[in-house]
Amino acid sequence: MRKSICQRKRGKFIDPSEYKNVVLGLIFLKYISDRFEQKHAELVAEGEGFEEDRDEYEADGIFWVPRDARWEAVASAAHTPEVGKVIDNAMRQIEAENDSLKGILPKNFARQELDKRMLGDVVDLFTNVKMASEGNTQDVLGRTYEYCLAKFAEQEGKNAGEFYTPTCIVRTLVEIIQPYHGRVYDPCCGSGGMFVQSAQFVEHHSGSIRDISVFGQESNPTTWKMAKMNLAIRGIEADLGPHNADTFFEDLHQDKRFDFVLANPPFNDSDWGGERLRDDPRWDYGVPPVGNANFAWMQHMIHHLNDHGRMGMVLANGSLSSQ
């Protein structure tokens, strides 16, 4: 199923980078709808009349999904010219009912250039799969989401680094610094992979996801929204700031210090604005080269460590000799 979803586009209909946003948005919509319907059925079976009580859903970390925004409405429109409008309307209704999702969900499925036959085929694929099942529901979705991210990263090549770091690399960093509990920070968080692996590390060592607090920042607006969705469906509460922002010029966590800092910053960025930041207080170990941001990232991360903090980052080959 995961392979079918990620291969469904085929070139002439839509660019891979755009298809990524379509699929990941639909994964999110299907999952929260399934979770809502699952809880709704449980409450109906209990017979206490609480199936329309929002508090019952919020207590379990389940988003409120209005009737016209549930997957049944989307599936029924899959093979109509209106399928894009139906999905956009569902996204708007969900945002209106859930403050934490306002301005986050994609709402451009009705645009003319998006082939509606292809969109209907993807909806059909999701309709035949239960995203929320008994057991570890977040893990079911997480594997699908992670698989699609990896496949889209393969298709986008060098441009994929801004939203995806291979899981093996992230897992290695997490296993080294061992974020059992405390505050975890990623100043260029992409789609949130560092946080996901940190939470899984804690759970695999018999801890609770509540043992860590997550903070991050991302400059790309689409990727920032992707991270918000990724973390929301995994039940990870995160402070990614009120909006996307450039970490060097608008540090959204300026006064915070962290127990763990994890990051895979952009490699060898020559256009990071260093000439305007020569007197920045973060440069405790010397002013970074204007033509390369590698050591600006490193010092930014060191600056945000507390006295006993640990840090793990990915650096480009040749960083020790870069000018």
Q: Do 83 and 201 sit in the same domain of this protein?
A: no
Mean pLDDT for 161-190 is 86
Total number of domains in the chain = 2
Q: Which of 149-158, 185-194, 264-273, 286-295 has the lowest mean pLDDT?
A: 149-158
Instruction: Give the amino acid at 196.
Output: V
* Mean per-residue pLDDT of the chain: 86
Q: What's the pLDDT tens digit per position in 15-56? A: 656 677 788 899 899 989 988 999 999 999 999 999 999 999
CATH code of the domain containing 50: 1.20.1260.30
Which pLDDT belongs to residue 200? Answer: 84
In a domain, 111, yes or no: yes
Q: 20 with 57, same domain?
A: yes
187 and 120, same structural domain? no
- My answer on whether 193 and 312 are in the same domain is yes
Question: Is residue 7 one of the residues assigned to a domain?
Answer: yes
Does the pLDDT at position 108 exceed 70?
Answer: yes
- Are residue 43 and residue 111 in the same domain, yes or no? yes
Mean pLDDT (whole number) for 292-298: 95
For residues 173 and 130, state if they share a domain: no
Distance CA 72, CA 34 (A): 10
Instruction: Please give the pLDDT value at position 174.
Output: 92
Q: What integer is the mean pLDDT of 245-251?
A: 98
Q: Are residues 58 and 181 in the same domain?
A: no
Average pLDDT over residues 236-265: 96
Does residue 179 sit in the same domain as residue 240?
A: yes
Tell me which residue range forms the domain holding 303. Answer: 163-321
Is 261 contained in some domain? yes
- Considering the domain boundaries, does residue 12 fall inside one? yes
Percent of the chain predicted with pLDDT > 90 = 58
Q: Give domain status of residue 155, yes or no.
A: no
Q: Strand pairing partners for 312?
A: 262
Length of the chain: 323
pTM of the model: 0.83
Residue 125, pLDDT score: 85
Judge if 18 and 104 occupy the same domain.
yes
Residues 274 and 231 in one domain: yes
Do 184 and 126 share a structural domain? no
Average pLDDT over every residue of 256-261: 98
pLDDT value at residue 53: 94
- Output the CA–CA distances (angstroms, integers) from residue 148 to 26, 27, 210, 259, 287, in the order listed: 12, 10, 27, 31, 39
Q: Is residue 145 part of a domain?
A: no
- Is residue 154 a part of any domain in this protein? no
Q: How does pLDDT run across 5-18, given as a tens digit for each residue?
A: 565 544 444 565 66
Burial of 61 (0-12, 13-18, 19+ CB in 10 A): exposed
pLDDT digits (tens, 9 = 90+) for 193-241: 899 889 888 888 878 888 999 999 999 998 899 899 888 878 888 999 9
81 and 223 part of one domain: no
CA neighbours closer than 13 Å in the CB half-sphere of residue 291: 2
Domain holding 297: CATH number?
Answer: 3.40.50.150
Q: Per-residue pLDDT for 321 more than 70?
A: no
Number of H helices, E strands in the chain: 11, 5
Q: Residue 14: what pLDDT?
A: 56
User: In this structure, are residues 195 and 238 in contact, taking their beta carbons and an 8 Å threshold?
Assistant: yes
